[in-house]
Structure 1
Amino acid sequence: MPPTLFQKLLGAPFFTLPPTLRALHAGHGRSRYAGRATIVRGRNPLARLCAVIAGLPRSADDAPTTVEFVTDERGEVWHRDFGGARMSSRLWFDGDRLVERLGPVRFRFALHVNGGVLYWNTVGVRLFGVLPLPVSWFGDVRCREREHEGRYEFLVEASLPLVGPLIRYEGWLEPA
């Protein structure tokens, strides 16, 4: 089997990840995970507008959550469902960076592993794939993946200058 997207990006540190993270990021074809998540969207009118444009889910407490991962030679597509609120994104690699397209926004992330935890840090952003936005605006857009009590856990936070908190969602997943 060819290496997966995250195996290519992380190299040897991929194999130091806890089993649940390795399993989630080592799939080929289609895989499905289910769990629960809590979503908190920002209340600022600009934050609400940005969330709608990006297709982010509404606030929900302990929402049933599913994620279908579709992997092909071009990368991965993640189809998320947070209690009926759907959000999809495409991920691929560009050099040593992970790229994620979410609505009209394209993020570039530097990935690193520390203590068995996988961190995504924003290093570039483009609107509509062509218009670069100041990366300093997106310093508070990040993700953390870890294993806790034998389950895969995620935390995604996004806050923007002048807008404030945009979204924070966290939860857990298990193979479905």
Structure 2
Amino acid sequence: MSSTLFQKLLGAPFFRLPTAVRMLHSIRGHGKYAGRATITRGRNPIARLCATIAGLPRTAVDVPTTVEFHTDASGEIWQRDFGGFRMRSRLRDCGGQLGERMGPMQFRFALNVHDGAIWWQTVGVRLFGLVPLPASWFADVRCREREHEGRYEFLVEASMPLIGSLIRYEGWLEPA
């Protein structure tokens, strides 16, 4: 049986992660998780415009959240639903880094395991897959995945120089 995307990218540290995190990233084929999330969009009008263009969800508190995972040999598709707002992304291996395509943006992340959590750190960004954007603009785009009280928990924060916070969303998920 071949490795899943996160097993491949993280190697041995993957197998030392807490159970809830390992289970979510061990899905093969199709899987579905459900939980709750709180989303906070930035207040700056330019930040709001950037979040809209990127297809990010609107501000909401404690909304029902589902994520459907479709995995195959070429990567994973994550279909998120935050209280009716859908957000889709495609993840794949980009030369040992995690590539995520979301709307017109294509991100590359370095993945690290620290204190039982997976940390995503932005190392590259392209617009429409063609136009490279300065990585320094996206240094404050990051994600943390961990287990808390037996459940998978996520935190995603994105802010940019001069315009501040674009979005912050956090919550928990369990197998549905």
Q: Is TM > 0.5 for Structure 1 vs Structure 2?
A: yes
What CA RMSD, in Å, does the superposition of the two structures yield over aligned residues? 0.5
Which stretches in structure 1 are left out of the alignment for 5+ residues? none
**1:61-115 CA distances to partner (integer Å, 9 max, x unpaired)?**
0000000000011100000000001000000011110000010000000000011
Deviation at 1:45? Answer: 1.0
- Using the alignment, how far apart are the partners of 2:51 and 2:95 within structure 1? 29
- Using the alignment, how far apart are the partners of 1:160 and 1:115 within structure 2? 27
Deviation at 1:119? Answer: 0.2
Aligned positions of 1:21-100 closer than 5 A: 21-100=21-100
Q: Does the alignment pair 1:154 with 2:154?
A: yes
**SS in structure 1 at match of 2:26:** coil
Identity of aligned residues (%): 72
Aligned to 2:174: 174
**SS in structure 1 at match of 2:162:** coil
**SS in structure 1 at match of 2:51:** helix
Deviation at 1:174? Answer: 0.1
- Using the alignment, how far apart are the partners of 2:132 and 2:94 within structure 1? 16
**SS in structure 1 at match of 2:7:** helix
**SS in structure 1 at match of 2:46:** helix
TM-score, normalised with respect to structure 2: 0.99
4+ long deviations beyond 4 Å: none
Which stretches in structure 2 are left out of the alignment for 5+ residues? none
**SS in structure 2 at match of 1:144:** strand
For 2:44, the aligned partner's letter is N
Q: Does the alignment pair 1:9 with 2:9?
A: yes
